[in-house]
Copies of this chain bind each other. A is one copy, B any other.
Amino acid sequence: MKELVNYILQFGNLNQQQIDLILSKGEEREIRKENYFAEAGKVAAEVGFIIDGIMRVCYYDNKGEEITKYFIEENNLVVDLESFDNGICSSCYVQAVTDCKLIVFSKKDWQELLDTIIGWDTIVHKIISKALIQKVARRSPLVSEDATTRYLSFMKLFPNVINRIPLSYLASYLGITQSSLSRIRKNIR
């Protein structure tokens, strides 16, 4: 749980009692590679914090193609905010790309913490804004880059990930086909 505490304290101060309260609500959970943390069609009812591993958020487009929207790495919250906040069905799956270890909060506990701990809401909002800003910042440039540039940017961002994930996940994230990606890899070597 130390990782979570360190992470939280970057965004604001809490005393030991408050921290203990937060931790007391978190449940450790392991999710094996390829298993789901959340599924499309259901309402998100949990917030997760990834201690170890990589997850991805994906959906199916109107041609039935599976599209990876983004990857989430260790030390980040994972939750479909739109679904969680508004109680509407999620359109995305959240899947473990590698074996993962999470700390999970139920919506009820999460809400209770927000109501109880003064300043916790501010910290949560900072965390969430930062994550959302990061998502935009990562996803946005892809639109105007060519395939090779996209791949190189991804490599720079996730150098240690690239060989641990299936080609298909990465290709759909980059918006190119598997074969194109395979050729791009070849050309770079």
Please tell me the number of chain A residues within 8 Å of chain B, measured between CB atoms. 28
| Neighbour of A136 across the interface among B132, B172, B174, CB < 8 A | B132
User: Within 8 Å CB of A122, what residues of B?
Assistant: 121
Say which residue of B69, B85, B133 sits within 8 Å of A140 (CB atoms): B69
Q: Which residues of B contact A129 (CB under 8 A)?
A: 81, 85, 125, 128-129, 132
Q: How far does the alpha carbon of A133 sit from the alpha carbon of B174 in the complex, in Å?
A: 20
A174 touches which of B65, B85, B128, B143 (Cβ 8 Å)? B143
8 nearest A-B pairs in the assembled complex, by CB-CB distance: A132-B132, A143-B175, A125-B125, A144-B175, A142-B143, A135-B136, A139-B140, A67-B144
- 18 more A-B residue pairs beyond the given contacts A129-B129, A143-B143, with a C-beta to C-beta distance below 8 A: A61-B144, A70-B140, A81-B129, A81-B133, A85-B129, A121-B121, A121-B122, A125-B125, A128-B129, A129-B132, A132-B132, A132-B136, A135-B136, A139-B139, A139-B140, A139-B143, A142-B143, A144-B172
